[in-house]
Amino acid sequence: MAVDSTPATTVQNMLNGIDYSALIGGPLQAAITAQAMAAKSSWEFIQQVGLRENKNGETEAVNVAFLYQSKGTLVKLIVPILTIVPIPMIVIDNINIEFKASLNASSSECTENSSSEALDAGGEASAKLGWGPFSLEVKAKANYSSKKDSKATQDSRYSVEYTQDVSIHATQADMPDGLSTVLGILSKSVTSNGGAKGCIEPDKKAITPNNQESEIVSITVKDKDGVIIPETTLDMHVDFGTATGGAQSDNLLIAFGHFQTACTLPDSSLTLEDGVDVLTFKAKGPTPPAIVTLTYTDPNNANIKFSSKIKVAAFAS
C-alpha cells in the first residue's frame, strides 16, 4: 500500500494559500498611516503653539517678549516662538519585514499479515489387525484448522508555524522647504526693541551731510510688540552745538518724506502715514554739529512716550 500523501498535500495547499500581500502590505500600510499621523501631529503642534487668531480673525505668529538691560536702557526682545522651540517632525526611514513559515508533514503506514494451520483429532477411526499370536489395533484421530490474521495501521501528522518580525526605524525629519522658508522669515523678524513701550528705529544713528551729497535716513516706528504703527506723528527737535569757523545752523537743511518737504527748525512735526518714512539732510554751507531728537507720544495715553536720536556731524566747506 502506498504512503498516504494527504497530509503533504494539505500542507502544500496551506503554503500556497498564504496571503503574502497582507503579510507584507499590512505593516507597510500601518507605517504609512503612522507617518500621516506624525505629519498631522506636527501641523497641530504648529497651530497650537506657534499660531493664534487675532481680534480681526487673522492668523498670526505667536511672539515671545523678553525684557533685559542693555547699557542702562530697558530693551525688549521679541522673538517668534516657532524659531526657538523644536518642531516635532518624525519620518519613518526604514522598514524591515521578515516572514518565516515552518511546515512539517509526515505519513506512515504499517500492514501485518499472519496465517497458521493445525492438524487436530477432529475425527476417530480404529482397526484391529492380527496375524496368529500377534494383533495390532490402530486408532487415528485428525483435525484440520486454518487461521489467517491481517493488521494494517496508518499514521499521518503535520504541523504549521508562522513567524513574522517587523522592524521600523524613525528619525527626526528634515524640515520641509516651505516651513524652512517661513521660519527664516520669522527669524529675520526678531526685534530688539529700543524700549519697553515701543521704539523709533532710524537706519542710521550718525550722519555727515555736506553741500555735495545728501544723507537719507529711513525711520520706522514700532509699538511694544514690534509692530509698525501706521498714521504716526513724531515731534522732531534739533539741538545745535557751538558754531566755529563761520558755521551756521541755518546752513543745515532737513526735508521730510518722499517729496522732501522742508522742515522748520529747530522744531517740526512729522506724520508717517505708513509708520515708515525718510528724512533727507543736506548742508548748504558750514554747519555746527547737531543732535536730532525724534519723539513719539501715544495719542491715547500721554504717559507712553519714547524717542530716538540722530547725530549730525559738523561740516566745514
| CATH of residue 287 | 2.60.40.10
Q: What is the dihedral of CA 253, 257, 259, 260, to 10 degrees?
A: 0
Q: Quote the pLDDT of residue 150.
A: 59
Same domain? For 150 and 295 the reply is no
Same domain? For 243 and 301 the reply is yes
What are the φ and ψ backbone dihedral angles of 111, each rounded to 5 degrees?
A: -120, 130
Residue labelled with grid coordinates 526605524: 169
Give the angle subtended at the CA of 72 by the CAs of 71 and 78, to the nearest 5°: 75
What are the φ and ψ backbone dihedral angles of 172, each rounded to 5 degrees?
A: -70, 125
Q: Quote the pLDDT of residue 245.
A: 80
Same domain? For 90 and 233 the reply is no
Same domain? For 30 and 128 the reply is no
The structural domain count of the chain equals 3
Same domain? For 302 and 206 the reply is yes
Q: Quote the pLDDT of residue 156.
A: 54
63 domain residue, yes or no: yes
Q: What is the mean pLDDT of each run of 10 residues along the chain (317 residues)?
A: 58 68 81 88 89 87 77 70 84 78 58 54 54 57 58 56 66 70 68 69 93 92 82 94 86 93 94 93 93 92 88 90
Same domain? For 178 and 206 the reply is no
Same domain? For 183 and 43 the reply is yes
Same domain? For 123 and 226 the reply is no
294 domain residue, yes or no: yes
Same domain? For 76 and 141 the reply is no
Contact between residue 298 and residue 194 where contact means Cβ atoms under 8 Å apart: no
Same domain? For 36 and 93 the reply is yes
Q: Quote the pLDDT of residue 121.
A: 47
**CA atoms of 173 and 162, how far apart (whole Å):** 35
Supply the range of the domain harboring residue 145. Answer: 110-155
Same domain? For 57 and 173 the reply is yes
pTM: 0.47
Q: Considering just the CA atoms, what is the radius of gyration of the chain in Å?
A: 54
Same domain? For 142 and 179 the reply is no
317 domain residue, yes or no: no
